[in-house]
């Protein structure tokens, strides 16, 4: 599927540019797919986006007015209307924003706390030059699959596992436990993949990469929700019917 591919590093290294291009090429399953490349010698990252040019059509990354904050995202926000109403800046509120631009404006106004209100399926990263950090964010339930690998102080991120195999500085080995799980359950459990060096990005993640150091944090945990078992069957069916009618138009 289309998506993002990126390499984050302590300082810019032009040698990684070709690797990211190759990572992106593996996601171009059709000739009509569009591709955005992000290379800036002043920034400690190289990234690419492959998309269908259906949603978020504006070329990425999107940046703020003084070009100190950059956002690259793929996927879709389901509650974009509610999120736009949260924008207090008149300049932001009046714009007809794409989801990528909405990420940018919300981050500018609310900082990292903006992720608590996100509802959708997506993978995104936000680079803040002033704070010298990069945020890696995915949706609450990990519907949008994302994978990563770490090599010394380098962090690699991609929407497909095979993208990461283009990084030749890391020796990849088969995870025998994952192979066994696949034959037993037709899937791989936890956040493992078929390779020992590659992992799935956990749902509801907001990870911070700063100068070669990665801080891992979850902003959403479904286990914190309690289930009200006192609801009647009639109430359950009524509420289910209401929600079904609400989401079908989306």
Q: 32: domain CATH number?
A: 3.60.20.10
Q: Judge whether 127 and 60 are in contact, CB under 8 Å.
A: no
Is 245 inside a domain boundary?
A: no
Tokens of 30: 């059709």
Is 31 inside a domain boundary?
A: yes
Q: Which domain holds residue 98?
A: 3-224
Is 239 inside a domain boundary?
A: no
Peptide bond into 61 cis (omega under 30): yes
Is 109 inside a domain boundary?
A: yes
The total of structural domains in the chain comes to 1
Is 111 inside a domain boundary?
A: yes
d(CA 158, CA 27): 10
pLDDT in tens, 215-249: 999 999 877 766 666 788 899 899 999 999 988 87
Angle at 39 between CA 80 and CA 109, to 5 degrees: 35
pLDDT in tens, 100-126: 999 999 999 999 999 999 999 999 999
pTM: 0.87
Radius of gyration of the chain (CA): 19
């Amino acid at each position: 599927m289309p998506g993002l591919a990126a390499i984050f590093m302590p300082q810019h290294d032009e040698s990684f540019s070709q690797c990211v291009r190759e990572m992106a090429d593996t996601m171009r399953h059709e000739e009509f797919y569009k591709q955005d490349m992000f290379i800036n010698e002043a920034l400690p990252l190289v990234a690419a986006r492959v998309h269908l040019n259906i949603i978020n059509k504006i070329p990425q990354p999107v940046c703020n007015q003084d070009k100190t904050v950059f956002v690259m995202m793929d996927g879709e926000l389901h509650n974009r209307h509610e999120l736009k109403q949260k924008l207090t800046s008149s300049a932001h509120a009046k714009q007809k924003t794409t989801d990528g631009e909405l990420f940018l404006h919300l981050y500018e106004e609310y900082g990292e706390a903006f992720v608590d209100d996100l509802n959708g399926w997506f993978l995104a990263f936000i680079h803040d030059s002033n704070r010298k950090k990069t945020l890696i964010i995915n949706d609450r339930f990990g519907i949008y699959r994302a994978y990563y690998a770490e090599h010394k102080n380098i962090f690699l991120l991609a929407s497909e596992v095979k993208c990461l195999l283009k990084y030749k500085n890391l020796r990849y080995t088969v995870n025998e436990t994952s192979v066994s799980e696949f034959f037993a359950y037709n899937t791989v459990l936890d956040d493992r993949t078929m390779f020992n060096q590659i992992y799935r990005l956990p749902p509801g993640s907001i990870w911070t990469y700063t100068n070669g150091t990665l801080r891992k944090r979850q902003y959403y945990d479904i286990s914190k929700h309690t289930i009200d078992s006192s609801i009647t069957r009639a109430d359950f069916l009524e509420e289910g019917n209401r929600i079904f009618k609400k989401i079908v138009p989306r």
